[in-house]
Amino acid sequence: MKLFKFFSQEIAIDLGTANTLVIQDGEVLIDQPSIIALNRRTRETVAVGQRAMLMHEKTHGNIETVRPLKDGVIADFDAAEKMIKGFINMITARRSFFSHMKMVICIPSGITEVEKRAVFDSADHVDSKETYLIYEPMAAALGIGLDVEEPVGNMIIDIGGGTTEIAVIALSGIVCDQSIRIAGDEFTLDIMNYLKKQHNLLIGERTAEQIKIKVGAALTELESPPEDLAVNGRDLMTGIPKQIYVTFKEVAESLDKSISKVEDAIMKALEATPPELASDIYQTGLYLTGGGALLRGLDKRISSKTKLPVHVAEDPLRAVVRGTGIALKNTDRFTFLIDRRNN
């Protein structure tokens, strides 16, 4: 048994549209952007994660950067597998000695059967011998310390890069859920489009994301507003670089439509919640996880829309991977884990 343990490796992966996190024995070993740089000709990996991100939108003819996931699911299988391999190699150089690899991978709840099978296949290709999948809101609930096996309803709202997942969880299952493909990436695009329209300023994805993080807001009134941010880009009229100042109010305006869609999905999920569970949620409130939970004023905005208390998870970017790690330790017990047979 000991020998077997020595030769085995157990990891939990949150393969997100924006970030990939890997946890082993409760310790987060990888927390990097989901991106890979490839040699355009040979398709060999040049860099993964942070190093590849530095090259993003700055590449030349020989190198291309790829974000293998789109809307929460794998859009480029070859690139996704190479990226996962790259991350796994970072954790252990002795990888080839491990005879047994067990993995729990987190997936969005709106995933199709075909997409699910593709995730299993990718795990096979990186030599996983025992693979389980877990739905993202379930992982998020575990990650923030909720007891998902209790006969008590909890609503989780995970706003990631590609998807917003809203789910009511009780008795080890997802009672009802809404998954929409509007989340952080869409917010970033909204900011790019707004600056193009309002200021004739062309900016890249990375700059737009920085604007969102530094002066992003869900409300035009904030208690402690961030200072205006200097943004550099290219003037659409003259074609030369220029600088403007962006305020949080402008960002809130640019994000308003997308946030309304998130709110609509939350309202739908609440309407679909059975009354007994709705009464639990009335007391416990809503839990926000994922990077989108960090948007200024979002908790307040959702709270005034739903008239319910809204809690932002502590370290919302890591809630899902922590929960996936807890699932890894309980694969014998948690009936909600998906393996190839019950897929």
Cβ proximity to ligand ATP, 295 vs 328, nearer residue: 295
Residues binding Mg ion (CB under 5 A): 16, 160
Name which of ligand ATP, Mg ion, none residue 292 binds, using a CB cut-off of 5 to 8 Å depending on partner kind.
ligand ATP
Interacting stretch for ligand ATP, rule CB under 6 A, among 24-32, 249-257, 284-292, 301-309? 284-292
- Burial bucket for residue 212 (CB in 10 Å: 0-12, 13-18, 19+): buried
Single residue of 86, 184, 297, 325 touching ligand ATP by CB under 6 A: 184
End-to-end alpha carbon distance in the chain: 29
Least separation, in Å, of the C-beta of 189 and Mg ion? 18
Question: Number of helices and strands (H, E) in the chain?
Answer: 11, 18
317 interacts with ligand ATP by CB under 6 A: yes
The two structure tokens encoding residue 336 = 């909600």
143 interacts with ligand ATP by CB under 6 A: no
**22 CB neighbour count, 10 Å cutoff:** 24
Least separation, in Å, of the C-beta of 4 and ligand ATP? 32
Single residue of 9, 19, 32, 273 touching ligand ATP by CB under 6 A: 19
Count of residues engaged in binding ligand ATP, rule: CB under 6 A: 23
The residue type of 176 is: C
Question: CA–CA separation, 338 vs 343, rounded Å?
Answer: 6
Sequence-separated (6 or more) residues with CB below 8 Å from residue 311 = 285, 286, 287, 288, 299
Sign of CA dihedral 214, 220, 224, 227: positive
Inter-CA distances, 32 with 35, 48, 51, 105, Å: 8, 9, 9, 16
Single residue of 122, 128, 163, 178 touching ligand ATP by CB under 6 A: 163
> x/- site string to ligand ATP, residues 22 to 61, per CB under 6 A?
----------------------------------------
Name which of Mg ion, ligand ATP, none residue 68 binds, using a CB cut-off of 5 to 8 Å depending on partner kind.
none
Alpha helices in 92-179 (DSSP H): 113-125, 136-143
Q: Which of residues 54-73 bind ligand ATP (CB under 6 A)?
A: 72
Least separation, in Å, of the C-beta of 219 and ligand ATP? 13
16 interacts with ligand ATP by CB under 6 A: yes
Single residue of 10, 185, 250, 299 touching ligand ATP by CB under 6 A: 185
Question: CA–CA separation, 197 vs 279, rounded Å?
Answer: 45
Inter-CA distances, 208 with 5, 91, 133, 203, Å: 46, 31, 32, 7
Name which of ligand ATP, Mg ion, none residue 209 binds, using a CB cut-off of 5 to 8 Å depending on partner kind.
ligand ATP
Single residue of 49, 110, 137, 216 touching ligand ATP by CB under 6 A: 216
160 interacts with ligand ATP by CB under 6 A: yes
213 interacts with ligand ATP by CB under 6 A: yes
The pairing of strands 201-202 and 229-235 is antiparallel
Name which of ligand ATP, Mg ion, none residue 295 binds, using a CB cut-off of 5 to 8 Å depending on partner kind.
ligand ATP
Burial track 313-331 (b if 16+ CB lie within 10 A, e otherwise): beebbbbbbbbbbbbbeee
Q: What is the contact surface with ligand ATP in residues (CB under 6 A)?
A: 16-19, 72, 136, 160-163, 183-185, 209, 212-213, 216, 290-292, 294-295, 317
